[in-house]
Structure 1
Amino acid sequence: MKYRHVVFIVVLILIIDQALKFWIKTHLYMQQEFVILPNWFRIHFIENEGMAYGLKFGGDFGKILLTLFRLVAVVIGFWYMRKLVAQKFHTGLLICGSLILAGAAGNLIDSMFYGLIFSDSSYDIARFMPKEGGYGAFLHGRVVDMLYFPIYEGYLPKWIPIKGGDYFIFFRPVFNIADAAISTGVITILVFQRRFFSKRVETTSDNGTRNEAVVNGAVE
């Protein structure tokens, strides 16, 4: 796998992520939703000022800090992916790394620029590049989320410990394509880490004996 393939994956995910977010911002107002698959999948528009899946981090200062952290992480990520490609790491690892990098970049774009280029969505559908300016300053954009999978909604049986009898929704978080790319990349790396970070290769010693060696990460 070559570095241009990494860039292609990142750009492809970014296009899909940003196109969907742009459509959501310019067609729906906050909390509006419509059903795709009954009792399973909805488009539900929300915005968050924090991390993936609506998690928050330390108010206004935390928002700036988080956005700057994302920016540094994306820059370092591109450099590190080039290094992994040069060292011929497992293709699966490179694909997963590209997904994680694309997800981080997708949410970074929201955080950096959406406050500047969109009007507020709280009470009306947002306008792109409004004359009066956007709803926030640079680095103060809100991340757009819309994918909602309430596969189960209802009261849990009372015999279940602790949560028995409580109203429960699975899966409750609302997320976006960038979040999904990050989660897919991370989970896949965790599941296949042995395959991604080690490869058995056969070597031949001076006396002609064939030995197996484990090369961590890179394929020789």
Structure 2
Amino acid sequence: MRKRYLITFGIVLFILVIDQVIKFWIKTSFAFDDPSVPLIGEWLQLNFVENQGMAFGTQLGGGMWGKLTLSIFRVVMIGAIIYYILKQIKKPDVKLEFLIVSAMVLAGAAGNLFDSMFYDFIFRDYFDPCISYNQVEGSGIFSECSYFGYTEMVEVRHRGFLFGNVVDMFQFNVIWPSWVPWLGGGQVFPAIWNVADFAISCGMILVLLRQKIYFPKEKTSKE
């Protein structure tokens, strides 16, 4: 059982470290308006953005309450996932692969939550109210921005614990062929993502594909 604990939470720590190291590097090395940097040919690029939402920029409402609700939801879900994993580890017939997959989902959720919890404190000097991802209509918090000599007041997001933006950086640059109906010429997957998003997605996909292996039905004896 000790081996299961070490492997499961070792994978969580490993993914978290990779996720945060890349985010710190992106945050301190790139600017919002920097051009995309090719990683693997032209189809995988670095494109620094920040968002207030979930995986791939999905948001839960808008403004302060949407962000706060999302962050609290993350905390509750992470607690539930940890509780579930601890229960599964104690089962004698649990598959190690399932524990690894669960660890991927937990690490991904925790990685994005870390951004929301602490990045507004760690990167205080990087907050720029004139950048679009720091502006939230209806927040009630105003800041002065100057554009080419023209000054205007803009509404900016709340800052602090649980309000930080999530840092994203990877983007697939793959275009649908022009002959594909409705989609031709558009990007196959336009969302920009990070290691945490990737871990969550891979974990959930594996659970769906291998659920019969992870959750085998108990054979009932015929009377």
Percent identity, please: 38
1:138-193 deviation digits (Å, cap 9, x = unpaired):
1110000001111226x622xx44x16x5301221110000000000000111111
Distance 2:189 2:128 in 1: 25
Give the SS at the match of 2:8: helix
1:108 is aligned to 113
Given that 2:20 and 2:111 are in contact with CA atoms closer than 8 Å, whether structure 1 keeps it comes out as yes
Given that 1:25 and 1:121 are in contact with CA atoms closer than 8 Å, whether structure 2 keeps it comes out as no
Q: Give the counterpart of 1:35 among 33, 38, 43.
A: 38
1:13-56 deviation digits (Å, cap 9, x = unpaired):
00000000000000001142211123211111000101110111
Alignment of 1:6-155 (within 5 A): 6-32=8-34, 33-59=36-62, 60-88=64-92, 89-118=94-123, 119-120=126-127, 136-152=159-175
Which piece of structure 1 moves more, 90-99 or 190-199? 190-199
TM-score normalised by the chain length of structure 2: 0.77
User: Which runs of 5 or more residues in structure 1 are unaligned?
Assistant: 125-134, 201-212, 215-220
Distance 2:41 2:128 in 1: 26
Distance 1:16 1:74 in 2: 19
Q: CA deviation at 1:3?
A: 1.6
Distance 2:7 2:127 in 1: 37
1:130 is aligned to none
Given that 2:175 and 2:185 are in contact with CA atoms closer than 8 Å, whether structure 1 keeps it comes out as no
Distance 2:53 2:197 in 1: 12
Query: Residue 196 and residue 31 in structure 1: after superposition, are their counterparts in 2 closer, same or farther (change >3 A)?
Result: farther
Given that 1:30 and 1:123 are in contact with CA atoms closer than 8 Å, whether structure 2 keeps it comes out as no
2:155 is aligned to none
User: Which runs of 5 or more residues in structure 2 are unaligned?
Assistant: 132-157
The structure with more radius of gyration: 1
Give the SS at the match of 2:186: strand
Given that 1:45 and 1:144 are in contact with CA atoms closer than 8 Å, whether structure 2 keeps it comes out as yes
Distance 1:54 1:156 in 2: 27
Alignment of 1:192-211 (within 5 A): 192-198=210-216
Q: CA deviation at 1:116?
A: 1.7
Q: CA deviation at 1:90?
A: 1.4
Given that 1:29 and 1:122 are in contact with CA atoms closer than 8 Å, whether structure 2 keeps it comes out as no
